[in-house]
A and B are shown apart, each in its own frame.
Chain A
């Protein structure tokens, strides 16, 4: 099975900061990767699919990049509503999720 490792697991940042979350796959998955945001008590929300395509309605401050085994989610200027947990998901074989990155307010 393909494993995903997100880093960091926890991230503390301030409003206005630029932040990057990394997701590494144990083997190449081309661009078969998605990113989700989950807020406490809520269902996850799709942000990005195919590694870099922004889901409709998602603010342009979110961007994704990468292919093969290394991927990044970047938030260009953090807004208060962006503090949440972020998950990557590989879509190659069994579409497992990464372990999550909790983004907290500094």
Chain B
């Protein structure tokens, strides 16, 4: 079964760092772009960026460039989203998702992780 499994919910304080993960299985992890999508409470979907695990080519939305870092470890089929200094406004559900077509540029996301809820509060 093709799936993405994300790490569990996190509760952090402002200023703390965080790295959440997304593990792929059931397919060739290095061949498909993986993206991250933010959903703030009660709000819509925001595309944050994508990474190609085969060579770690990474693209960011201008809104998230410099605010987060997307990375991947192909040896363990895992993508990451990390913050160096969290803010209360980072409180949201974060989804990872796989693009539909092998090695394509922008494409629809056909496989989604279950989401990781990040809560940042003092």
Contact = CB atoms under 8 A, between A and B. Distances in A.
B45 interface: yes
Interface in B90-110: 95, 97, 100, 106-110
Contacts of B45: 36, 38, 44, 87, 89, 97, 100
Contact of A96 (B47, B97, B110, B112): B47
B112 A43 contact: yes
Contacts of A91: 106-108
Nearest to A34: B108
A87 B115 contact: no
Interface string A53-65: 0010000000000
Nearest to B115: A43
Nearest 9 interchain pairs by C-beta = A34-B108, A43-B112, A49-B108, A97-B45, A91-B106, A100-B44, A95-B106, A46-B110, A99-B44
Interface residues on B, range: 20 to 34
Contacts of B35: 95
A1 interface: yes
Interface in A42-95: 43-46, 49, 55, 87, 89, 91-95
A87 B44 contact: yes
A49 B106 contact: no
Interface in B43-57: 44-47
Contacts of B37: 44
